[in-house]
């Protein structure tokens, strides 16, 4: 086993709101119940040692620890396309491929919220943590990706502690409600329907209460979840698809579920709004794939705000000083993480090199003992010491240089060259 096997390289294949249209992101979205299957399919070939899937409302990223970058990338792209039922070329056209250095820096930025539509958003932290939890449960996250993800989470905490990046860009939910208030006036006293009780739905309900909404109605496929959240915000719970009476009189709908089909179509909304005299209403769709039919934007009195619209509105929304410092923290810690990985890779080289030298010395000393059986103990000890000194001096410079070169951008190439030059095997490092 060579160095490339000892230290698998980190790669990521990612698609997000900056590289792909929302329609494609919808198709690529992987529901929670399919994550184990997706992880197993991605990690099936031997060249992929570990795999982790980060999926949010505006990104799908696959992180792998691999020995063979090109084969791993092709397999991941083909698997994503197969799972989504889209042509592989559509994935290739929108995918960003990042290797080791860029992949690590990218995840650190993502965990800090620096790659989000709403810069600094808090939800991404829970999503990164959930991605690691899912990969561990599927037995596809090993020491490489676990160390990477846990480090990214620590960097995120540092950035949010040392800067105000968490306030630099409000979460998508905050932004969505701000847009709703701009379009429909203050939310005080308004009647709202929240569809979905996950992280985003729960946050929306709490923020609506904080902003003084009048009636808050909570709908969920699991009634018990709706009842629990409704009790928390002083609202009313509705089962799955029974909320038409509310739809006829509400001022705001916020939907964020994991459903694979649209929950609110234009015809249904048109009937409900007609019953309300086409009174103004804002529909906020924070789901991926979408919960609300885009044709709802054409219903009289309805303003539709979806992920794509929020992306346009949030473009360029940055608090420069805090964001710049958070970028520095992410970059510094990414470099430190990579340095630790390279340092870890040079240790087996040194052990293997010394082990090989010890084997050669012992073999030659054994031959010498057979050739000179009458050699005295003092002379034999002096001979052994002299040989050890010679070997130590010969190895000193390569070992020092290996440590120095491991910290350079080309460090991995130098270390691999040394492994090949001395024909070393990792098993020697464990001898």
Is 121 annotated as belonging to a binding site?
A: yes
- Upstream peptide bond of 289 is cis (omega within 30 degrees of 0): yes
Indicate if 57 belongs to the active site: yes
Element (H, E) at 61: strand 59-66
- Residue 230 Cα distances to 55, 147, 237, 240, 245, angstroms: 27, 39, 6, 14, 17
Structure tokens that stand for 305 in this block: 């705000």
Is 257 annotated as belonging to a binding site?
A: no
> What is the phi/psi pair of residue 306, to 5°?
-120, -175
Is 123 annotated as belonging to a binding site?
A: yes
Is 59 annotated as belonging to a binding site?
A: yes
Query: Tokens 């329907």 — which residue?
Result: 193
User: Under a CB-based contact definition with an 8 Å cutoff, are residues 289 and 260 in contact?
Assistant: yes
Is 161 annotated as belonging to a binding site?
A: no
Is 113 annotated as belonging to a binding site?
A: no
d(CA 352, CA 345): 11
- Catalytic pick from 57, 112, 250, 296? 57
Is 355 annotated as belonging to a binding site?
A: no
d(CA 334, CA 156): 12
Query: Tokens 């009476």 — which residue?
Result: 245
Residue 45, classed as helix, strand or coil, is: coil
Is 42 annotated as belonging to a binding site?
A: no
Query: Tokens 């054409």 — which residue?
Result: 298
Is 70 annotated as belonging to a binding site?
A: no
Is 250 annotated as belonging to a binding site?
A: no
Is 58 annotated as belonging to a binding site?
A: yes
Annotated binding-site ranges for NADP(+) = 196-201
- Which residues contribute to the annotated binding site? 56-59, 116, 121-123, 127, 196-201
Query: Annotated active-site positions, please?
Result: 57
């Amino acid at each position: 086993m060579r160095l490339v096997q000892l230290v698998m390289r980190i790669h990521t294949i990612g698609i997000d709101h900056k590289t792909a249209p929302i329609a494609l992101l919808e198709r690529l979205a992987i529901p929670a119940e399919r994550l184990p299957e997706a992880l197993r399919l991605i990690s099936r070939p031997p060249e992929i040692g570990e795999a982790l899937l980060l999926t949010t409302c505006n990104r799908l990223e696959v992180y792998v620890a691999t020995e063979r970058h090109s084969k791993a990338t092709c397999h991941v792209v083909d698997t994503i396309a197969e799972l989504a039922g889209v042509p592989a070329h559509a994935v290739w056209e929108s995918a960003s491929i990042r290797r080791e250095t860029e992949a690590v820096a990218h995840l650190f930025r993502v965990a800090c919220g620096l790659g989000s539509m709403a810069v600094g958003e808090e939800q991404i932290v829970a999503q990164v943590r959930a991605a690691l939890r899912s990969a561990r449960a599927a037995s596809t996250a090993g020491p490489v990706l676990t160390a990477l993800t846990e480090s990214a989470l620590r960097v995120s905490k540092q950035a949010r502690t040392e800067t105000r990046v968490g306030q630099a860009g409000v979460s998508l939910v905050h932004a969505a409600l701000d847009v709703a208030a701009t379009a429909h006036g203050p939310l005080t006293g308004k009647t709202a329907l929240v569809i979905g009780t996950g992280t985003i739905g729960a946050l929306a309900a709490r923020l609506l209460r904080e902003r003084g909404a009048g009636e808050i109605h909570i709908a969920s496929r699991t009634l018990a979840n709706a009842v629990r959240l409704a009790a928390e915000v002083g609202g009313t719970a509705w089962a799955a698809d029974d909320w038409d009476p509310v739809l006829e009189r509400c001022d705001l709908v916020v939907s964020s579920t994991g459903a694979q089909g649209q929950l609110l179509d234009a015809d249904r909304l048109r009937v409900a709004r007609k019953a309300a005299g086409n009174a103004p209403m804002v529909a906020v769709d924070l789901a991926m794939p979408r919960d609300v039919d885009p044709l709802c934007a054409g219903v009289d009195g309805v303003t539709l705000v979806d992920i794509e619209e929020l992306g346009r509105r949030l473009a360029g929304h940055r608090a420069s000083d805090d964001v710049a410092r958070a970028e520095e923290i992410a970059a510094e810690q990414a470099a430190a993480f990579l340095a630790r990985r390279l340092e870890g890779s040079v240790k087996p080289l040194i052990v293997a090199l010394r082990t090989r030298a010890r084997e050669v010395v012992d073999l030659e000393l054994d031959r010498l003992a057979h050739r000179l059986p009458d050699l005295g103990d003092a002379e034999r000890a002096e001979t052994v010491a002299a040989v050890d000194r010679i070997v130590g001096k010969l190895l000193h410079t390569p070992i020092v240089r290996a440590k120095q070169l491991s910290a350079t951008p080309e460090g991995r190439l130098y270390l691999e060259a040394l492994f090949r030059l001395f024909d070393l095997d990792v098993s020697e490092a464990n001898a």
